[in-house]
Structure 1
Amino acid sequence: MPQMDHNLVYQKEADQYHLLISKQPQLADVVNSIRACSGLDIVDLGAGTGRLTAALAPYAKSIKALDASAAMLQVNASRLLKGGFANWTTAVADLRKLPLEDQSADLIVAGWSICYLASDNDPRWKNNLQEVMAEMHRVLRPNGAIVIFETMGTGTAAPNPPGFLKPYYSMLVERYGFSHKWIRTDYQFESPEQAEELARFFFGDELADEVREQALSVVPECAGVWWLNRSSHSK
């Protein structure tokens, strides 16, 4: 999360980042349990290298992948092409100003992305979050749904979210009316050596040293899932 310069990673090391997240479980079942995705027009915000895009493309009528990093979207597009999908588009975008028409999506997903605008390290975080929410509601159709994934802690088997994200998480529920649960998204690495290398690359020395000391090939992680069905909530 924002304690490291992840924006630089997303711009310069998209392939290495994708190797890291490829060691986590697929999340299509989680999304489908909240809103059945078959035949929907889906938007993936902060889509990155396609963790959610590739998982949901087999179900979607269409899927639009938006991200601030062109390098990440290139990896995403390559994966979709290799998968034989033709129902997708990508675009570089700011989540506060989506290049999408009003009421053009049935489902909006956002994985580990809104947090970069909503960390309370940023004095504008509340305004950023309000702008993102307004854009999602603008794009969402009646009876549409929003599903947001964010970190609840890496290297921990129980939820332990970063302090700088707790106000954002509280606001999702208390102000914006989202329901919430948490899940495990453990990394299953090929070896302790790979686990240490990739943990150090993205999460930093403290976690990587712990992985090395314990010779871990499985690194626990928790994720929060927030969802909102527009049919039962107002803006």
Structure 2
Amino acid sequence: MPNHEKIYDQEASQYHELIARQPELRGIIEEIRPLDGGLDIVDMGAGTGRLTTVLAPGAKSIVALDAAEAMLKITAERLQERGLTNWTTQAADNRKLPLPDRSADLIVSGWSICYLTNSNVPEWEHNLEGIIGEIKRVLRPGGTVVILETLGTGHETPSAPDFLQPYYARLVNTYGFSHRWIRMDYSFDDLSQAERLARFFFGDELADEVIRQQLVTLPECAGVWWLQV
């Protein structure tokens, strides 16, 4: 399996090429928390701006946080290209947000929290408790958090990896999140691109399956969890 931490630090551009093949998520988030009225928004684990760039227009302010400076550089470039000025980026750990108490109306986190809260990580329960505590500290009363994570790449219906299932269960059973699932299929230009990007991020087994099945569209399921504080 490829080293994702290395990818985020050293191959951010190719990572962005991959996720740019997935659907936009503004509509999914707006179903949970209407975005009109100008919100102060935080994007935890913003990466290359998948969520930041679609939420920034119309926001009062948006802060993009990520552990990898290389990812945030791409986010900043994309926001600058759009002529937006209501944003900032900052390197940060999800367990310690560099933000004041009660400073956000909406916090989003896409495919990020799982790196600290999967069952392969020592003290993952403690990490999750700390992250949820930070989210609740930063959100204003009535604020909303929306978390997105994988429910299986190469699957047409949810098939969460075993090491993520305890984390997902705890979001619902311990912290009271609501949840649903959506399709986030990758739509590639051709088989060559599909194979190259699948091998780059997901590894040889999935890339070989892409070739075997001639998958120009690679199925992906994602979970959406949300909570109002």
Q: Is the pair's TM-score, using the shorter chain for normalization, greater than 0.5?
A: yes
Distance in 1 separating the partners of 2:2 and 2:138: 32
Among candidates 10, 18, 21, match of residue 19 of structure 2:
21
Displacement after TM superposition at 1:138 (Å): 0.4
Preserved CA contact (<8 Å) 2:2 2:200:
no
Q: Which amino acid aligns with 1:80?
A: L
Q: Measure the CA separation in 1 of the matches of 2:46 and 2:78.
A: 12
Give ranges in structure 1 of 5+ residues lacking alignment: 231-235
The residue matched to 1:135 in structure 2 has which SS? helix
After superposition, the C-alpha distances for 1:86-121 in whole angstroms (9 at most, x for unaligned) are 110000001101100000000000000000000100
- Listed one character per residue, the Cα deviations across residues 21-57 of structure 1 (whole Å, up to 9, x for unaligned) are 0000000000000001221000000000000001111
Q: Distance in 2 between matches of 1:192 and 1:215?
A: 7
Does the residue aligned with 1:91 lie in a helix, a strand or coil? strand
Deviation at 1:220, TM superposition (A): 0.4
Alignment deviations for residues 164-188 of structure 1 (CA, whole Å, 9 cap, x no partner): 0000000000000000000000000
Shift of 1:213: 1.1
1:12 equivalent in structure 2:
10
Trace 1:146-161 onto structure 2 (pairs within 5 A). 146-161=145-160
1:199-214 equivalent positions in 2, closer than 5 A: 199-214=198-213
Letter in 2 for 1:64: V
1:82-231 correspondence runs (5 A): 82-230=81-229
Question: Which one-letter code corresponds to 1:5 in the other structure?
Answer: N
Aligned-partner Cα distance in 1 for 2:148–2:219: 16
Asked if 1 retains the 8 angstrom alpha-carbon contact of 2:107 and 2:144, the reply is: yes
1:227 deviates by: 0.3
Q: Provide the residue aligned with 1:233 in structure 2.
A: none
Which residue identity is paired with 1:102? D
Runs of 4+ more than 4 Å apart: none
Displacement of 1:5 after TM fit? 1.4
TM-superposition CA deviations, 1:44-96 (whole Å, max 9, x none): 00000000001111131110000000000000000000011111000000110
Cα-to-partner distance string for 1:139-177 (whole Å, 9 max, x where unaligned): 000000000000000001000011000000000000000
Structure 2: distance between partners of 1:155 and 1:83? 33
Cα separation, 1, equivalents of 2:175 and 2:2: 28
2:186 maps to a residue whose letter is: Y
Give the 3-state SS of the residue equivalent to 1:152 in structure 2.
Answer: strand
**Counterpart AA for 2:57:** P
**Structure 1 residue aligned with 2:31:** 33
Task: Determine if contact 2:199/2:207 at 8 Å carries over to the other structure.
Answer: yes
Query: Does the residue aligned with 1:117 lie in a helix, a strand or coil?
Result: helix
Partner Cα distance (1:198, 1:122) in 2: 26
The whole-number CA distance in structure 1 between the counterparts of 2:213 and 2:169 is 34
**When the two structures are superposed, what TM-score results if normalisation uses the length of structure 2?**
0.98
Distance in structure 1 (CA, Å) of the matches to 2:207 and 2:77: 30
How far apart are 1:20 and its partner, in Å? 0.1
Share of identical aligned residues, percent? 61
Distance of 1:107 and 1:142 partners within structure 2: 11
Q: CA deviation at 1:4?
A: 3.4
Please name the residue that 2:70 is paired with: 71
Task: State the number of aligned residues.
Answer: 228
